[in-house]
Amino acid sequence: MSATSKGRMCVVAGCSKRQSDGVSVHMFPKDDRQRAAWIRFVKLTRADWTGPSQYTVICSNHFNPECYEKQCTLMVEFGIPTKKRLVPGSIPSIYPKRKREDLNEAFLESPSRPERMVVAKLEKKRVSILR
């Protein structure tokens, strides 16, 4: 079986899932803001990536369960074959587990959410002291 007959492969680095692997694949959205968020998600795993083509997809492994329409989720749980549909505005947020040395440097350098919150609180205190 050729690669094209197996379906499109997920563009996220470290993920090689295809629709034939039992996951849903999602084409990049047309909405500019949402599309930009998807592009940023992929670029955090692939620094050299130039952007999506008309065939580029991200698989369902990178979306939280809340990103899917409840009706589709129930159908899948009951064994009824259906393509999982994303709720409008959904953004991928689950990165594949990878070795630290394989991650994009930009991804490694961005502070975690708790670190950002601590910095924001300290900055707020500093500003209030200066007033």
Residue-level pLDDT at 40: 94
Residue 54 lies in a domain: yes
Residue-level pLDDT at 73: 75
Residue-level pLDDT at 8: 92
Residue 107 lies in a domain: no
Residue-level pLDDT at 10: 96
Domain count, the chain: 1
Residue 115 lies in a domain: no
Q: Domain range holding 37? A: 4-99
Residue 129 lies in a domain: no
Residue-level pLDDT at 29: 97
Residue 20 lies in a domain: yes
Residue 44 lies in a domain: yes
Residue 104 lies in a domain: no
Residue-level pLDDT at 2: 47
Residue 41: which residues within 8 A CB-CB, separation 6 or more? 12, 58, 62, 91, 92, 93
Report residue 39 as tokens.
């592009």
Could you tell me if 95 and 44 are in contact, meaning their C-beta atoms sit under 8 angstroms apart? yes
Residue-level pLDDT at 130: 58
Residue-level pLDDT at 81: 76
- Residue ranges for the chain with pLDDT beneath 70: 1-5, 98-131
Residue 77 lies in a domain: yes
- Residues 21-48: tens digit of each pLDDT: 989 999 999 999 999 999 999 999 998 9
* Phi, psi angles (nearest 5°) of residue 86: -75, 145
